[in-house]
A and B are shown apart, each in its own frame.
Chain A
Amino acid sequence: MKTMRSVILDEADRWLFPVVLLVSVYLTFRGHNAPGGGFIGGLVASAAFVLRYLTGRHREDPIYEVFRPHTILGAGMLVSTITALAPLFFGDSLLESHIWKWKIPVFGELKIVSSTFFDLGVYILVIGVVLSILVALGIDQDENEDNPNEAPA
């Protein structure tokens, strides 16, 4: 995979990667009122990482160094579970939604529903799932092929 690099794909990734990530976040947050949500957002973000992997530029990407996919996976699980359990501490039932509304001058009313955090957890978790599959089936195998005598990372 390293040997065949396409300049067009490289450039596409350079510009698309941040945009796609931004779109994924946008999709996640608007999900409560319009098509989108954590699962869709997470998949879109994962698509960005997959694209980056296909270009071979993932080798320069610090995300695999800083967070291991399983850490991201766990973080997503944690955020969702905490959001799900939080209402129990206030005497409500599991996953009970709470709606906060603030009036902000100029922008108008800002409404945050607690389930947004739950969706955020789903978003993170989906990225973690795809990344860990990407690492297990893609990146580690590449390294195996490159230097078959060394253990995968």
Chain B
Amino acid sequence: MTLLLLAHLLVAAVILTALRSRPRLAAFLGIGVLLASATTTALLSARPTQATESWEWIGELGLRIDLALDGMATLMVLVISLLGAIVLWYSINYFSDHVAYVRFVGIFVIFAGAMSGLVMSADLFTMFVFWELTSVCSFLLIGMNDESASARASALRALLVTGAGGLCLLAGVTLFQIAAGTSSFTELAAQSPSGTLITVAALLALVGAFTKSAQFPFHFWLPGAMSAPTPVSAYLHSATMVKAGIVLIARLAPIVGHDDIWRWTIVLAGGTTMVFGGVRAMRQTDAKLLLAHSTVSQLGFLTILMGLGVPGATYAGVAHLLAHAVFKAGLFLSVGIVDHASGTRDIRKLSGVGRSMPVVAWLTGLSAASMAGLIPLFGFATKEKALVALLDADEKVGLVAQVALGFVVAGSVLSVAYSVRLMRGLFGTKPGIEPTPIHHPSWWGLVIPMSLTVVGSVFAGLMASSIGKWLDSPAQALDSKAYGKLALWPGINTAFLLSVGVILIGAFAARLIPTQPWRNPIKISGENIFQYLYDGLITTAKRITRVTQSGSLLAYNAVVVLVIIFVLAAALLAGTDSGVTELTFADSFFQFIVVLLACAFTFGIAFTQQRFVAALLLGGLGFACAVIFVMFGAPDLALTQILVETLIIVVFLFVLRQLPRTFAHKNKFAPRSIRIAIATTLGVLVALFTVMVSGARTAPTTGDEYTTLALPEGGGRNVVNVILVDFRGVDTLGEITVLAVAAVGVANLVHMANRRRRPGGPEHVESNTSEGVPQ
């Protein structure tokens, strides 16, 4: 299984690097790896023993990568790879020759791999890793059209929302580990832990799942992600991304599903999402947005089924997950075909498309019928099962099941209504509107892949009972008591009557609810809060930057120096026992002379008016220091000092060419007297502090230890060098990184300055590159 996941990465790497100019080959390779993934998974799952793999990751923390191919994982991997292959096939003709197509294929394959890893995870930490990977991939996919500002903004929003959710999930996972001592799903389920900490952990994980699966109040990013190309939406909305949250909920429900707080949170959030998503879908005029809101609604449905922790509902949830993945992928692909053929997705403008594209219309109709839950499609069987399960659950969990049933019935009415609306909108002939001209009546490269999903919906519906048997295994992987039957014709019972009622009311509702833009009577929505927080963060950041980064060298220096003065003064006042017993004036006459020289240089620097002279004197001071180093027996240090001083003088010369010859002295904020006072204080304090510190040592120096270890451990006799490259090698690594970054920084700053100064060039370089997220 690990190999399977790595294969995705490898193929993606090949596609992204080597096949830039071969988009078709890239797509075929992508389809190949997805089909191979499906085949391998099918073969592995056919074995009598369940395939598991476990890798040590961070041993000290007890973190492992744990993968298990249980029934649920098998089902999901099959859905992910088969639908992925269909969408990729479709995308070849959809994009024809888009510049970013190969990148799309590469990220798509990584995305499929990450999602497969997520569903195979047998451990919360493992799942978290793949979880974040899917967030990053979806960001790249949604923002595929990187020249469009709105695509970038919605990609960013999706990333921020799901990323924030990811952090909550991490917190939840860590709490699980602390409270229960394990993060493995099976071990957690065996313990069936409870307590405040577990409830908090479960709710945090739920926030993660809700952001990912676009549940109220985090639902807004998903319709926003519609600026992605249609194949991306089709995949994101059907098999991947949004299903990650559902899978997490499904895995957690057997562990914490008995908790009342969990149950109510699930039902209220899921129910609200289901109904509001449905209502919003009815308000849309863009067919794709209609579908997006319908996804939100259906995800609410799945959340309720999976999260309730009732075996029957779990089974229905697994079945409906499959049904939704298939019909939703088909519907998105259909909208893409209509969009491609007519150039619009506006259901007010489209007219007579059903007459010009009858095949597409019929196929889409079958998918929509599955979404609405009509006999004999798969969607009917699964929704029927869900209603039965919720009716039964009433005895076990009481009120919460009735509330859930209420939400589900209302949501189902709406799903019938928006299915009808979608079909009428896309393919109906509207009075008073000219038939929409169709450019490409039937594009078989697009229609055949789409029809495969329709075949799935029809076939699964007709074969409902065999499929139902096969779904026992995924359901039991979640909950050992979850099993059930699916039937095409369940006979006349309460659930069936409910279904009939739902369909009739839904069909009427489709005519009654107008498509006016939704005016939210309540101003507080998840979207507004997000926007408010986002804007607030950016404004605050700008404000802080303006205050702290004045751009004045004088101000920066003043802050640094004043902080040092403050700290040193505090330390000197606090330290009572200096430990200094005696001070020698000088070790030798020569030393005295050198120090005198250094002092002379220093005064020279302070009093000269010429920048050039100051630079030279500064160099002289450096050389004087080097001589002192030599006197104390530090040749390495002295050598470095001399070399650095030499080079610095040269660099100074470069810079001085660009600066005025003399210092600017007038500054109303810091007159000469204040500057002298600050500088003198600093000098006196540093000198005092150095004397005090030299006598204050109580612990033995590390130098002795290094000296004895240098030859046997580091293999060198030069202790300074061994310290640099071995004992404190990590420090050196950090320092050279800083050096490299500084060098690149200097080069870029100079480059920008040159560009600004060049005649005809831009007067000032854009410094504000952050962009706001549009509503």
Q: Which residues of A contact B (CB under 8 A)?
A: 31-40, 43-44, 46-47, 50, 54, 69-70, 73-74, 76-77, 80-81, 84, 94-95, 97, 99, 111, 113, 115-116, 118-119, 121-122, 125-126, 128-130, 132-133, 135-138, 140-141, 144, 148-149, 151-152
Contacts and interface: CB of A to CB of B under 8 A. Distances in A.
A68 to B, nearest CB: 10
Contacts of A97: 713-715, 726
Contacts of A141: 654, 657-658, 750, 754
A54 B646 CA distance: 13
Contacts of A130: 647
Interface stretch (B190-198, B364-372, B566-574, B741-749): B741-749
Interface stretch (B67-75, B455-463, B636-644): B636-644
Chain A facing B: main interface SS: helix
A115 B746 contact: no
A50 B721 contact: no
26 contacts: A31-B718, A32-B718, A35-B636, A35-B639, A35-B720, A36-B636, A36-B639, A36-B721, A37-B721, A43-B644, A47-B646, A74-B740, A76-B736, A77-B736, A95-B733, A97-B714, A128-B740, A130-B647, A133-B651, A133-B746, A136-B747, A137-B750, A141-B654, A141-B750, A148-B758, A151-B758
Contacts of B739: 125-126, 129
Contacts of B654: 133, 137-138, 141
B639 A118 contact: no
B758 A31 contact: no
Contacts of A116: 725
A81 B729 CA distance: 11
Contact of B751 (A31, A44, A80, A136): A136
Contact of B740 (A34, A119, A125): A125
Contacts of A46: 647
B710 to A, nearest CB: 9
A80 B736 contact: yes
B626 to A, nearest CB: 12
Contact of B725 (A40, A111, A119, A129): A119
The 9 closest A-B pairs by CB, nearest first: A32-B716, A43-B643, A137-B654, A95-B729, A113-B715, A115-B725, A35-B635, A136-B750, A129-B743
Contacts of A43: 640, 643-644, 647
A33 B658 CA distance: 43
Contacts of B750: 136-137, 140-141
B724 A37 contact: yes
B731 to A, nearest CB: 10
B737 interface: yes
Contact of B715 (A99, A126, A149): A99
Nearest to B636: A35
Interface core residue of B658, B720, B751, B754 (most chain A CB under 10 Å)? B754
Interface string B171-206: 000000000000000000000000000000000000
A128 B644 CA distance: 15
B743 A132 contact: yes
A47 B658 CA distance: 22
A40 B657 CA distance: 28
A36 B650 CA distance: 22
Contact of A137 (B644, B655, B713, B714): B655
B717 interface: yes
Main secondary structure of the interface of B (DSSP, over half): helix
Given A95-B729, A115-B722, 4 more contacts: A35-B639, A126-B739, A128-B743, A133-B747
A8 to B, nearest CB: 18
Nearest to B650: A50
A129 B742 contact: yes
Nearest to B729: A95
Contacts of B725: 32, 37-38, 95, 115-116, 118-119, 122
Contacts of A137: 651, 654-655, 746, 750
Nearest to A126: B739
Contacts of B521: none
A125 B734 CA distance: 13
Given A97-B726, A129-B743, A140 B754 contact: yes
A80 B733 CA distance: 7
Given A129-B740, A137-B651, A141-B654, A115 B729 contact: yes
A69 B743 CA distance: 10
B399 interface: no
B732 interface: yes
B730 interface: yes
A135 B644 contact: no
Contacts of B716: 32-33, 113, 115
Contacts of A113: 714-716
Contacts of A37: 636, 718, 720-721, 724-725
A137 B750 CA distance: 7
A144 B655 CA distance: 14
A111 B712 CA distance: 13
A35 B655 CA distance: 32
A32 B722 contact: yes
Nearest to A44: B643
Contacts of B744: 70, 73, 132
A39 B724 contact: yes
Contacts of B724: 37, 39, 119
B62 interface: no
Nearest to B637: A35
B429 to A, nearest CB: 61
A73 B640 contact: no
Given A32-B717, A125-B739, A132 B759 contact: no
A36 B639 CA distance: 8
Contact of B730 (A39, A47, A95): A95
Interface in B677-732: 713-718, 720-722, 724-726, 729-730, 732
A37 B637 CA distance: 11
